[in-house]
Structure formats: C-alpha cells, structure tokens
C-alpha cells in the first residue's frame, strides 16, 4: 500500500497548493482599485442579496440533511438493529455530512469572490480596458475553480485515508450530491425567476434596456447569476467530480482486491495531476494580441488538456501503471473535447443552427421554438454517440486486465469519466467567469460607466456564454460516464451485501428490469417539469410584484432622480419561491427510486438506473443546448441581424430566450445531479432493497 | 393444427364481414342528400387535392419500396448466394409487397369516403341537426376503421395460411411499417405545413376567421386533415395492428413448437373477436338524448371493450384456451383504458393542465410554452408506468406456461399488446371521425351555411379533438408493448439464425449493449427533429406563397365577389415539400439501425432497440400530449376565457397551438412507426448482423 499512501500525500499537497493559489488569486482580485461609489453601492446590494439567499438556503438544507443523516444512521449500510457495528453507520453519516459541508464551503467561497470580482471587472473595464477586465473576471472565477476542486480532492483523500471503505466514499459522494441537488435546483429556480421577470417586464413590456436600474428585478437578476451559475454550478461540478472519483475508487478497490494491484493509487495520482494541470492552465491564461476573450478561454482549456495528458503519461511511465487504464482516461478526455466542440457548433452564432433559428424568428415565436427544439434534438447525437463510444472503448481496453470479470471494464469506464473531469478546475474557472462578466456588465450599465466599458463587458459576457455551452457539454458527458460506472458500483454493492455473486448483469428482456427502465426514464422528465413549473409560478409572482412597484412607486418609470425601486422585495420573492419549489422536485426522484427498489427489488433498480441515465442524458443535452442556442440567437438578432432590436424577429427571439432560460439554467443542468443522486441512493440502499423488496 | 385452420377460417369470415359492413356504411353515407352546389365545388377541390397528394406520394413510395424489395430479395432472410432456397427470399419479398399494398388500399378507401362524408356531414348539420350530422361523420370514419382492420386481419391470415413462417409474417409487417412511416410522416408534414401557414397568415396576421375561403391555404389545410389524419393515421394503426399480431405469432409459433400447443390459433381467435367487437360497437354508436358527441364516441369504445372481454372469455371457455393468456390480453386492454383516461386528464379543458396553460398565456407566449412543456413531461408518467406494469404482469402471468423459458413471458407481453389493440377498429373509427368533422366545419364556413350548422360542426369537431387524445394514448401504449415483444422476436430470430441459443438476454452492464442503448435513444429525437424542421421549412415556403397571392391577386383580401385564390399552388407546395422532407427522415433511422448492427453486432442492436423504445415512448407521449394540451388551451381561451379571442392570452395560446401542431400531428405519432420499423429491420436483418458485424 506504499504507493497509495504516497499518492494520498501528493493529493493533499496538490489540494493545499490549489488553496494557496486560490488565496493568491483572491488577494490579487481584491487588491484591484475600487473607487466608484455607485458601483460599490450596487455591488453591495448584489452581495447582500446573494448572502441572504445562501443563508436561507443553507438553513433549509441543514434541516433536510439532518433528516437524511438520521435516516442514514438508522438504516445504512444496514439497519442499526442488524448492523455488525454501529461504527459502520456512524462512519457513513460522518462521510455524508463531510460531503455536504465541503461542498457548501466551496460554494460560499465562490459567491464571496464573485461578488467582489464583478465590481473589479467593471472598474477595470472602465479604466484599464479589455485585457485587465478579462483577467479580473477570469481570476475571480478561478478562485471558485481552485476551491471546488481542491476541496473535493482533499475530501475524497481524507475519506479514503481514514476509512479505506467504498461505502463511506459513496456516502461522501451522496452528501455532495444532495447539496448539489438543492443548490443547483434552488439556485436555478432563483436565477431564472429573476431573469425572466426582469426581461419580460423590462425589455418586452416597457422597452427599457437590460440591467436598467429602474427595473425592480435587476438586482435579483444579478444575484441570480451568482447563486445559480456560481454557487449552483460549483456544487454541481463538485458533485460530479466527487462521484467520478468515488465510483472509480469503488471499482479500483474491488478490482485491486482481486488482482492484488493498488489501482486506487492510480486514481489519486491522475486526479492530483488533473488539479495540477488546471492550476498551470489558469496561470497560463492571458489574452493574445488580437484580444479575443473566447480564444483566451478556449486556449487555456486546451493547454490544461495537453499538460494533463503529458503529466499522466509521465506518471504512468515512472510508476509503471497499466497503460490500458491511461488509455481509458485519455479516451474520456478526448471524447469530452469532441463533445464540447459539438456543443459549440449548436450554440455558436457563427454556425448554421443559431442563424437558422434567428431567420425562423422572422415568421414569429412559434417558429423560433420549433426550430430551436429541432436543433436541440439534433444536438444530442454527437454526445450520446460519443459517450457510448467512450464507454465501449474504455471498457474493452481495460476488460483484458481481468478477463471474464466486468469489474475491470467498469473500472475503465469510470477512469474515462475521471479523464473527462480531470480538467474540471479549468472548466469551473471558465464557467464562473461567465456570471462575473455578466454582473460586471450590469454594474457598468447601472453605474453609467460609459460606452467603452459597456462594449468591453459586453464582449466579455458574450465569450462567457459561448464557453459555457462547451463546458456544459463536458459536464453532462462526464456525469453520463460516471453514472454508467455507478451502475457497476451498484452491482458490486449488491453482491457485497448479499455475500455472494447474485447479480452478473441486468437483462433488458427481463420484464422486471424493463419495468424499472420505463419508470427510470420518466423520472428526469418529471423532475424537469417540476422545476420548470416552479420557475413559472415563481416568475408570475415576481412579474406581479414588478408591476405593482411600477404602478405604486411614483416617478420610477420615468427614472426620476433619487427614486429607487424596492430591490429587496424581489429578492425575497425569488428566494422564498425557490426554496418552496425545490423540495418536492428533489424529494420526488429519491422517493420514486425507493419505491422501485422496495417494489421490484435490485433488478428493477438496475433497469431503473439505466433508463434514468439514458433519458436523463437525452433531456439534459436537449435542454442545455436548445437553451444556449436560443440565447445566442437572440443576441445575434440584437446585434442587428434579421431586423435587429425591436423588430418582430427580435420579439420572437426573446420568447425563445425566455423559454430557453429555465431549460439551460434550471432543468437541464439539474438533471445531472438528479441522476447522480438517484444512482447513489440506489447503491447506498442496495442491501435494504435486497432484504425488503416486494418481488 | 385443426384449431388453427378453424380460426384462420373464422378470421377470413370476420374480415369479409367487416368489408361488407364497410360497403354498407359507405353506401349509407353516399346516399345522404347532397344539394348544395357551393359545398360540392369546395368538397371537389378537397378531394382533388387529397388524390393529388396520394398519387404523388404513392409514386415516390413505389420507387422506395421497389428498392427495398430488391434489397430484401438479395439479402433476406439470408444473402441470395448463401440461401438454402431462393424461394425463401421470394416469399419474404411477396409478403413485404403484400404489406405495403394492403395498407395503401386501406388508406385510399379511407380518403375516398372521408372526402365524401365531410360534405354529407356539413349538409346534415345544415338540414338535419346534430344527431344525423354526427352519424354521417362517424359512419364515414367507420368505413376507414373497418377497411383497415379487415385488411390487416385478412393479410396476416393469408400470410399465415400460405407460409406459416414467422419471418414472412415479419416481412408483411415490415411492408406495412414502411408504408406507414412514409404515409404518417409525409401526411404529417403536409397537414401541418398547411395548417400552420393558414393560421399564421389568416388568423394572426390578417385576423380573418378559420376556414375563410379567401385564404389561399384553406383548401390545403382541409386536404391535410385527410391525408394526415385519415390516411396517415390509418396506415399507422394498420401497422401497429399488424406488428402486434406478427410479434404475437412469432412468439406463439416458437412457444407452440416447444409445448406442442397451438397458440397461434388463440392469437387469430382473439384478433377476430376484436374485429367483431368493433363491428358491434360501431353499430351501437348513437347519440343519447343529451346529444353529447364526446359521450357517444366514448360510450361506443367502452361497449366494444366490454363485448371483447366477454367474447374472448367465452371463446377461452369453449375452446379451453389457457386462461393465463386471456389474463394477459385483458390486462393489456385494461391498462390501455387507464392510459387513455390519463391522456384525457392532460388534454381535456375541464381539467387543471389546460386551465393552467391558458392562465399562464396571460403572461405571454413563453409561459404558454414553458407550462405546456412541463405538463407534457408530467403526462408521460401514467403511460410509462402503465406500460411497465402491463409488461410485468402479463409476462409473469404467462411465464409459468413454460418455466425457465422467456418465450412464454414474451408471448404474454405480445398478447397484452394484442389486447390493447383489440378494439383498434373502434379507435380508427373514432379517429377518422375527427378530420371528417373538422372538414365539415370548414365546408360550412366556406359555404356560408349559417350559424346553426357552424355551431353543430364546431361541437362535432371539438369532440373529435378530445377523443383523439385518448385514442392516441392507446395507440402509443400499444406500440410500446408490441415493441417490447418485438425485442423478444429479435432474440428468437437471432437464435434461429445462429442455429443455437447464443442470446438469452441483453445485459445493460455490457458496454456493447449500453452503447447501442445510447444510440438508440438518440434516434427518435433525430427523427422528430428532421420532421419538424421539414414542417418548418415547408411552412415558410408556403407562408411566402400566401403573402404573394394576397399581394398580387387584386381584391382577394377585401373578399371581392368572384375573386378566388390559387388553391392548387398551395397544395403543390405542401405536397412537394412533404415528399422532399420525408425521405431523409425515414431513411436515417433505418441506416443508423444498420450501422449499429454492422458495427456492434446483435448485442448492440438489442440495446439499441431498448433505448429506442424507451426514448421513443417518452418523446411520443410528451409531444402528443403537450400538443393536444396546447390545442385545447387555445380553444379554451377562444371560448371566452382568460381574455378570450383577440386578447394577449389568445395570441400566446395560438403560438402554443402552432408549436403543438407538428408535435402532436407530425413528430409525436410518427415516432410510433419509426420504432416499429426499426424493430422490424433489426429482426429481419438479424442473420446478416450475426454474420457480418465488425465486433
């Protein structure tokens, strides 16, 4: 086990390095000049709003997680009155709580820096120009990237070091997932409630510009970017990263026992190399002479990819790891890049789909929707095929490690997921950059900082949107691979709980499996529907409130000096509504999983997970891509094409964008987390399903 | 085999009875008085347009089917240079051609009577009132119902009698499917092209009423109802019915050989009883005193259901069939009714979803879309769970017939599908009633036949819409069950081709299967997208043409006497566009199936079929139900709610309806056929995949 301890140690070192780098970046951002009083005032509103939301959300979460922790203690891994040792249950509870706390802290750090970086970016845009403004936004985002990946690696390392137990790893992962489910769904409902209402009343009804300070929802909109895209997305990728490592480790431990090779060491080695590559990639991020922020973001992603490939190849050579496993990791990363590029095709305004939808908008909103839905459907092909090929190749590469035993192949798939997520630090940095730039644009508008600053932040914002589609494709694909390997993890948990090999697979032709598959496929649809109806209901409440303010606050519509809207009322509506709507959506998917398990038993659950993955991937990709497409089609029209701002095509494109908002920022990305949560619930409860199922 | 011949004979008798009844109904409809010159003139345009489309479509189909027949002859069931006897290949070709021809004839008969019944219904509404008008429309539709079910039963019976071979049955079914794929997709593109363009320019831009004769697209719109909803839907249900019988027979033959019991006799007995029940149900259809057409349609469905259950129970008693199989059939029918009722909940304007969407429309079209998509997603639950339960129960009921052999259970599932489709004659009658009533409404409007006739045809039309949602739920669910059993058929075809049991199931954890599953799940999305983009492109061409006519034909807009638009130009655009757009969509799903088979082999195909079914059901249910919901939400607003006609809510609801149109009438129902075609291609090509696959 010498190798394992070495790499656990290295992982801790790299995590600490990431934290140190995050602190350095944070101080760099904070040290940027801040002189504009107006920006500081509005920025203060935003920070206060974000913290209010976070406080309320975490209060709800403490209750939820408390109940979950109690249930885990009572029932997992075995009912407390049957367990060999109460300590086993206690370990899982502690791991679970650890998972939630680590994720919550990373989210809090992200919000903290994002709500400072937005102001600094705005000021840099005004005084320094494009390059320094880009760097302020990017480095602000990178703090989040480093915090998330550092803490996820540190957490998994600690759990592994202290327990060495795969169920505890799944417990930690479940903690991260249950936080992510609520952070992503809650933040997603908040952000889209605010965004949609602000746009509908502001842009469509009154024709005032985006981010106009007269709009009562404008601060809530900016808060939403932070709680949805920074904190929510951070929790989501924290979760994916932990889940991919946990499932790889479950397989590594099972395979390691059999082959007497320490595969877990390899998982930690690669994960540490991934974080290190991201650190180097972030350091390398600069804008070239042409000053194209999209290019800068993409270049740093490619640099990270290159460094990771080289570093892991070197480590494999030095420590004489198995090259087949390295191959699986490389395949995962490669397919991830391909999927990212294909997402870009469907959402980039240089390409046919966006142009087509913009053109179709000339005939009215129905055509915007129809063409967007169609391209959204088409966009699933490359990712679905890519994930399938990655799974097939990585499985077959590694299957020969232990011929006849599916564990080896499954380990290959999970390593492909680890490979795809190896550059997650870079991905989060790019992703968190987006809302910071978006916020900065708002501050420039609200602070009247001039045309030039507006142009700069506009171009930063647009780069954020483009890159976001790419990183989202990455995240969804990686979640898909992870969950395929969690299916393997579920199987080995069942066999371990049974004390013998009772499951060697799940046969589609078995109607119990098929029954599970059909139910599992319905769950992502139900989950998305509940979230979107939540946004819908909440936005309608908020639109009423905005109307009320414009009606009752005298001089607001005319922009009379000194008249400011009641921003906090809108923030409260978005917050309370989001928290009210997220609980049922989160619970329902967990409860259906339990119902299937207790009715149909472990075979039904196997089918259920497969159905859930397949339809979850389909819907997540469809919703994320069509949402991104509509967003960019609207921007394309606003840039003066197909009639430009104010035209019928523009109105239609705004309808598309409004539909796309909860698609891409609420439902689509939350499905990822829903699938992960469901897979982990299934794995953790496997022994209960085995003991108590109806059939 | 005495029993089998008896029931083959009875099946032929019942088919002939159905044809005789159809002729009687046809003569009854034709004998209704026709005096209105204007109606006859417009009705003539519609008939001519429908026949033009049919002629052009069948011309394209002859070419396509010719190529397919040649390929079948060369390669199926085995390549001609390897086959035991060329006769085997020839039999399949003939069965294939038979399937296409029988279906085409049934479609042609349906169009023939529908384009007469529409005029008779209009005149009956003017002169006789609600009851005779209802009967004219219903009996016109019933001709189609009898023709479709009579010819499908006759066709399957003949193939069984002449060959007794399961591959030939699959060949006949494939013929029916390939015609249905084109008829449904082509008709679906035509009808929605016309409908959307007519509405957009007429209702939205110019504010003229539906079916206004000034609108150049109005005849095309009415033609579309016939070619899409009558001929297309008829081909679709012809296909489902044949496929369910074929897959049940494949299983029955395989199981019969093993158990030395003639299960095929039972399949024919039940199918014949189903047709007989439908004949009796159609005869019983009358409007009660309260004069509610929806009630009359639903009652005759329930009557048919009751008669079928009683007749089959009696037959089972007399001929000492296995009660477990009867149970499976009854479960299928029962679940079908439940699914129909749940579709009704999501699309009926008395229920919450429609009301909610109508209310949401007050906030603009984006909310119409978001809430409709959400309820559409929710609507998949009852059907997915219902299909799963039906499969589970019917499998387990019948599995004990031959313990340890999945064939018995699979036979149970296929009999559940036969049960669900037993009342298909009634379903088609109800479904074909819809477009006839819709057309009649158009004729009343265009012929200026007065307010009372308009009111009557409006209420007939609205009943058609409500019932349509129910029958569509039935059809999708039945297709789902059929295809689950086709998965079993695929497996037994593979084992037969291999000459030994090489497949006992498809393991989800096997990455080859999983790869297939991911690709299979993407196919319905691609297929729908291609169809919808086809409608979108085609409608844009047509909108341009309508604009041109209003611009260039003087006096048209003002409704100057004697000025008529160039109806045929619009019909030509819809026809040519539909034929151009349908070929790629149809081909792509077949080609992807072949690619998966030749790359991944039979295991990949098994996963592919499962993924295809799961995502196909999900999308078909989602699209059909959300489309129906939007349609009825619009009607609900037009009835004076949420602001009524002309309000902002109405405009938003029209956008929803326009989006829903290709959802529910083009893509949604075509997915059914796509899944069936793919399953049959897989079964037919199984021996080729076995011999020539890459992996």
CB nearest to A384's CB, from B371, B391, B522:
B522
Each residue's pLDDT tens digit, B224-250: 888 888 888 888 889 989 999 998 998
CB nearest to A509's CB, from B380, B387, B491:
B491
Shortest CA distance to B538 belongs to which of B216, B226, B196, B204? B196
The pLDDT, as a whole number, for residue A407 is 83
CA distances from A270 to A389, A391, B613 (A): 22, 19, 38
From chain B residues 454-473, the ones with a CB under 8 A of any chain A CB are none
The C-alpha atoms of residue B590 and residue B603 are separated, in whole angstroms, by: 17
B521, closest residue in chain A (CA to CA): A614
Each residue's pLDDT tens digit, B537-562: 898 889 889 989 988 888 888 878 88
pLDDT at A285 over 90: no
Three-state DSSP string of A193-215: HHHHHHHHHHHHHHCCCCCCCCC
Cβ-contact A207, A156 below 8 angstroms:
no
From chain A residues 156-175, the ones with a CB under 8 A of any chain B CB are none
pLDDT at A309 over 50: yes
**Helix (H, G, I), strand (E, B), or coil: what is residue A507?**
strand
> Mean per-residue pLDDT for A133-161?
93
B600 chain-A contacts, CB cut-off 8 A:
392
For B360, half-sphere exposure in the C-beta direction (CA atoms, 13 angstrom radius) is 31
A368, closest residue in chain B (CA to CA): B659
CB-CB under 8 Å, A360 with B525:
no
The C-alpha atoms of residue B62 and residue B419 are separated, in whole angstroms, by: 33
Contacts of B42 (CB under 8 A, 6+ apart): B213, B219, B443, B446, B447
Query: How far is A248 from chain B, CA to nearest CA, in Å?
Result: 16
> Which of A195, A200, A204, A365 has the most B C-beta neighbours within 10 Å, making it the best mutation to test the interface with B?
A365
Cβ-contact A695, A515 below 8 angstroms:
no
CB-CB under 8 Å, B659 with A370:
yes
Each residue's pLDDT tens digit, B38-76: 888 888 888 888 888 888 888 888 988 898 899 888 887
The number of folded domains in chain A is 1
CB-CB under 8 Å, A528 with B508:
no
CB nearest to A515's CB, from B196, B392, B622:
B392
From chain B residues 587-626, the ones with a CB under 8 A of any chain A CB are 600, 606-607, 610-611, 614-615, 617-618, 622
The C-alpha atoms of residue A232 and residue A187 are separated, in whole angstroms, by: 6
A407, closest residue in chain B (CA to CA): B509
B615 chain-A contacts, CB cut-off 8 A:
521, 614-615, 618
Shortest CA distance to B189 belongs to which of B526, B629, B436, B528? B528
Question: What are B168's two structure tokens?
Answer: 């030939």
CB-CB under 8 Å, A518 with B378:
no
pLDDT band at A4 (very low <50, low <70, confident <90, very high): confident
pLDDT at A233 over 90: no
Any B CB within 8 A of A183 CB: no
Contacts of A350 (CB under 8 A, 6+ apart): none
The C-alpha atoms of residue A621 and residue A345 are separated, in whole angstroms, by: 13
B504 chain-A contacts, CB cut-off 8 A:
507
CB nearest to B525's CB, from A510, A516, A622:
A622
Output A27 or A81, whichever has higher pLDDT. A27
Rg (CA), chain B: 24
Q: What is the dihedral of CA B615, B621, B622, B624, to 10 degrees?
A: 130
* Residue numbers of the domain that contains A77: 2-692
Cβ-contact A675, A586 below 8 angstroms:
no
The pLDDT, as a whole number, for residue A617 is 94
Cβ-contact B12, B157 below 8 angstroms:
yes
> Mean per-residue pLDDT for B557-568?
84
Shortest CA distance to A247 belongs to which of A477, A478, A75? A478
Query: What is the DSSP-derived secondary structure letter of residue A147?
Result: H
pLDDT at B1 over 50: no
CB-CB under 8 Å, B509 with A488:
yes
Count of Cβ atoms closer than 10 Å to residue B692 Cβ? 12
Shortest CA distance to A483 belongs to which of A145, A662, A250, A186? A250
Query: How far is B626 from chain A, CA to nearest CA, in Å?
Result: 12
**Helix, strand, coil percentages for chain A (3-state, nearest 5):** 85, 0, 15
Cβ-contact B204, A648 below 8 angstroms:
no
CB nearest to A374's CB, from B378, B380, B533:
B533
A516 chain-B contacts, CB cut-off 8 A:
388
**Taking the model in full, what pTM does it have?**
0.91
The pLDDT, as a whole number, for residue A1 is 42
CB-CB under 8 Å, A521 with B509:
no
CB-CB under 8 Å, A365 with B655:
yes
Query: How far is A138 from chain B, CA to nearest CA, in Å?
Result: 33
Each residue's pLDDT tens digit, B309-368: 999 999 999 988 899 999 999 999 999 888 888 888 998 888 999 999 999 998 889 999
Each residue's pLDDT tens digit, B71-114: 888 887 777 777 777 888 888 899 999 999 999 988 888 888 99
The C-alpha atoms of residue B474 and residue B460 are separated, in whole angstroms, by: 21
Shortest CA distance to B285 belongs to which of B137, B110, B455, B119? B137
The C-alpha atoms of residue A612 and residue B450 are separated, in whole angstroms, by: 55
Burial class of residue B237 (count of CB atoms within 10 Å of its CB; 0-12, 13-18, 19+): buried
pLDDT band at B213 (very low <50, low <70, confident <90, very high): confident
Spell out a b/e string for A150-178, using b for 16 or more CB atoms within 10 Å of the CB, else e.
Answer: bbbbbbbbbbbeebebbbbbbbbbbbbbb
From chain B residues 412-451, the ones with a CB under 8 A of any chain A CB are 413
Shortest CA distance to B481 belongs to which of B375, B336, B641, B606? B336
Query: How far is B441 from chain A, CA to nearest CA, in Å?
Result: 25
B605, closest residue in chain A (CA to CA): A508
> Mean per-residue pLDDT for B175-188?
87
CB nearest to A366's CB, from B370, B607, B658:
B658
- Sign, CA torsion A419/A425/A428/A429: negative
Each residue's pLDDT tens digit, A138-150: 999 999 999 999 9
CB nearest to B409's CB, from A389, A392, A511:
A511
> Mean per-residue pLDDT for B158-178?
89
Give Cα B575 distance to the centre of its chain: 20
Question: What are A539's two structure tokens?
Answer: 């936005």
CA distances from A165 to A12, A157, A247, A262 (A): 18, 12, 12, 14
State the complex-level ipTM: 0.90
B596, closest residue in chain A (CA to CA): A385
The C-alpha atoms of residue A269 and residue A601 are separated, in whole angstroms, by: 37
Any B CB within 8 A of A479 CB: no
Cβ-contact A46, A219 below 8 angstroms:
yes
> Which of A206, A352, A377 has the most B C-beta neighbours within 10 Å, making it the best mutation to test the interface with B?
A377
Q: Which residue has the tokens 């499951």?
A: A503
Query: How far is A521 from chain B, CA to nearest CA, in Å?
Result: 7
Cβ-contact B80, B86 below 8 angstroms:
yes
From chain B residues 341-360, the ones with a CB under 8 A of any chain A CB are 360
pLDDT at A474 over 70: yes
Cβ-contact A423, A304 below 8 angstroms:
yes
Most confidently modeled of A195-199, A484-488, B267-271, B341-345?
B267-271
CB-CB under 8 Å, A406 with B532:
no
Query: How far is B413 from chain A, CA to nearest CA, in Å?
Result: 9
pLDDT band at B289 (very low <50, low <70, confident <90, very high): low
The C-alpha atoms of residue A35 and residue A120 are separated, in whole angstroms, by: 10
The C-alpha atoms of residue B441 and residue B460 are separated, in whole angstroms, by: 9
CB-CB under 8 Å, B618 with A615:
yes
The C-alpha atoms of residue B529 and residue A371 are separated, in whole angstroms, by: 8
Shortest CA distance to B278 belongs to which of B425, B433, B146, B417? B425
């Amino acid at each position: 086990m010498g190798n394992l301890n070495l790499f656990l140690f290295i992982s801790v070192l790299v995590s600490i390095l990431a934290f140190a780098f995050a602190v350095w970046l944070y101080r760099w951002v904070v040290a940027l000049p801040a002189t504009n009083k107006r920006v500081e005032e509005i920025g203060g509103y935003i920070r206060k709003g974000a913290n209010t939301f976070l406080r309320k959300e975490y209060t709800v979460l403490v209750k939820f997680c408390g109940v979950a922790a109690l249930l885990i203690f009572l029932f997992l891994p075995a009912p407390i009155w049957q367990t060999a040792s109460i300590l086993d249950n206690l370990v899982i509870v502690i791991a679970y709580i650890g998972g939630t706390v680590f994720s919550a802290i990373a989210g809090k750090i992200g919000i903290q820096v994002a709500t400072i970086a937005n102001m600094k970016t705005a000021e840099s845009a005004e005084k320094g120009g494009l390059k320094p403004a880009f760097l302020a936004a990017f480095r602000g985002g990178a703090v989040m990237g480093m915090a998330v990946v550092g803490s996820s690696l540190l957490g998994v390392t600690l759990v592994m070091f202290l327990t060495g137990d795969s169920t505890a790893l799944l417990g930690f992962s479940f903690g991260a997932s249950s936080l992510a489910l609520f952070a992503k769904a809650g933040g997603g409902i908040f952000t889209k409630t605010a965004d949609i209402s602000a746009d509908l009343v502001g842009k469509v009804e009154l024709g005032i510009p985006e981010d106009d300070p007269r709009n009562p929802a404008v601060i809530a909109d900016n808060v939403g970017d932070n709680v949805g895209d920074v904190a929510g997305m951070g929790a989501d990728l924290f979760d994916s990263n932990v889940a991919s490592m946990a499932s790889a480790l479950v397989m590594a431990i099972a395979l390691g026992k059999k082959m007497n090779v320490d595969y877990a060491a390899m998982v930690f080695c690669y994960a540490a190399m991934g974080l290190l590559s991201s650190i180097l990639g972030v350091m390398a991020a600069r804008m070239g002479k042409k000053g194209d922020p999209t290019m800068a973001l993409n270049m740093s992603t490619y640099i990270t990819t290159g460094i990771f490939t080289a570093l892991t190849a070197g480590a494999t050579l030095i420590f004489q790891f198995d090259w087949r496993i390295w191959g699986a990791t490389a395949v995962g990363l490669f397919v991830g890049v391909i999927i990212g590029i294909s997402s870009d095709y469907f959402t980039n305004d240089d390409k046919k789909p966006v142009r087509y939808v913009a053109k179709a908008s000339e005939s009215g909103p129905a055509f915007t929707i129809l063409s967007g839905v169609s391209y959204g459907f088409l966009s699933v092909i490359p990712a679905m095929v890519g994930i399938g090929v990655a799974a097939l190749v990585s499985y077959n590469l590694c299957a020969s490690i232990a011929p006849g035993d599916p564990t080896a192949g499954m380990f290959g798939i999970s390593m492909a997921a680890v490979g795809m997520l190896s550059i997650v630090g870079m991905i989060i940095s790019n992703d968190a950059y987006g809302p910071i730039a978006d916020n900065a644009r708002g501050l420039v508008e609200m602070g009247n900082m001039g045309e030039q600053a507006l142009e700069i932040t506009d171009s930063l914002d647009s780069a954020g949107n483009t890159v976001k589609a790419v990183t989202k494709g990455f995240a969804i694909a990686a979640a898909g691979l992870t969950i395929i390997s969690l299916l393997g993890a579920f199987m080995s948990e069942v066999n371990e709980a049974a004390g013998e090999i009772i499951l060697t697979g799940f046969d589609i032709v078995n109607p119990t499996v098929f029954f599970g598959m059909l139910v599992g496929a319905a769950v992502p649809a139900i989950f998305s529907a509940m979230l979107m109806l939540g946004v819908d209901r909440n936005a309608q409440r908020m639109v009423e409130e905005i109307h009320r303010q414009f009606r009752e606050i005298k001089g607001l519509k005319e922009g009379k000096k000194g008249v400011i809207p009641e921003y906090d009322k809108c923030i409260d509506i978005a917050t309370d509504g989001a928290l009210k709507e997220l609980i049922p959506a989160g619970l329902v998917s967990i409860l259906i999983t339990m119902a299937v398990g207790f009715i149909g038993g472990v075979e039904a659950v196997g089918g259920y997970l497969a159905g859930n993955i397949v339809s979850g991937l389909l819907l997540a990709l469809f919703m994320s891509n069509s949402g991104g497409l509509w967003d960019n089609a609207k921007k394309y029209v606003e840039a003066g094409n197909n009639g430009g701002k104010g035209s019928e095509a523009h109105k239609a494109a705004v309808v598309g964008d409004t539909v796309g908002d909860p698609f891409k920022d609420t439902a689509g990305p939350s499905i990822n987390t829903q699938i992960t949560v469901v897979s982990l619930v299934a794995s953790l409860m496997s022994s209960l399903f085995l003991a108590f199922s109806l059939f």
